[in-house]
Amino acid sequence: MTRNGGELGKADMHIHTLYSDGTASVQAVLDHVEGATDLDVIAITDHERIDGALRAREIHAGGDYSFGLVVGEEITTRRGHVLALFVTERVPALRPLAETLERIHAQGGIAVAAHPMAPLTPSLGTRSLLWARGATDPRHRLDAIELMNPSTAGRSRRVARDRLNAEILHLPAVGNSDAHVLEGIGSAWTWFPGSSAAELRAAIEHGSTRPDGVYWSHLHNVDVYRRQLRAKVRHLRHTLRPTGEWR
């Protein structure tokens, strides 16, 4: 049974916490998903870090949560952002795209193009997407593409992105919120047969996923940026010792 009561499950696999540039703690994210959404699976995907996702896995395992959790990371490659899902170790940033994809797959992970072709944030462009599509080594290929991302970056070039995937790439399509604030979680999602993390993975591998969601307003995007800055300043104040040393 899915949490939304329908035949298809809902997953949001692109969520940030205070471990990178999000505005909420891991605990707050998990509690919000449980109490305020009908998501069946989520992934914590902080920028260049996996420790927040691993901490989420610990809390999730010890709690009474009714949704599944996937450990992930959003990695900045030399060509743009890639989501690593179902991983166990951090993948280093600023490496060639081929190396990053190979490292993700070496862990048994899934590689997703995050907000591809977006001009406002580091994203895989058309040439990189086509290169990965034609890679002779399967370790250098993408496993899915994020066609629905409700942010300003995700809204950009949506039509061109959809057309490229429909006509050439033929990658499984997913939708994610790219949430940096609690109320953004679940604003975009992926429909998939089933309700568990394992069934989500199988759906991606079989190409039976479908993106959905609602775009944010420009005012909401501006508000998110403002709150990110305030959260980071507040987080640093609590993290630094009076002597200026890191805890």
pLDDT tens per residue across span 62-112: 999 999 999 999 999 999 999 999 999 999 999 999 999 999 999 999 999
Per-residue model confidence (pLDDT) at position 228: 66
196, 34, 232, 234 alpha-carbon torsion, rounded to 10°: -150
Could you tell me the two tokens for 202? Answer: 């199988």
In order of 48, 112, 247, the CA distances from 174 in angstroms are 21, 9, 38
Work out the pLDDT band at 219, boundaries 50, 70, 90. confident
Helices (H), 14-78: 26-36, 51-62
pLDDT value at residue 130: 98
Q: Tell whether the model's pLDDT for residue 236 goes beyond 70.
A: no
Domain spans in the chain, listed from the N-terminal domain onward: 8-231
Calpha distance 177→83 (Å, rounded):
13
What pLDDT does residue 112 have?
Answer: 98
Superfamily (CATH) of domain 8-231: Metal-dependent hydrolases (3.20.20.140)
Q: Is the pLDDT of residue 129 over 50?
A: yes
Terminal-residue alpha carbon distance, the chain: 43
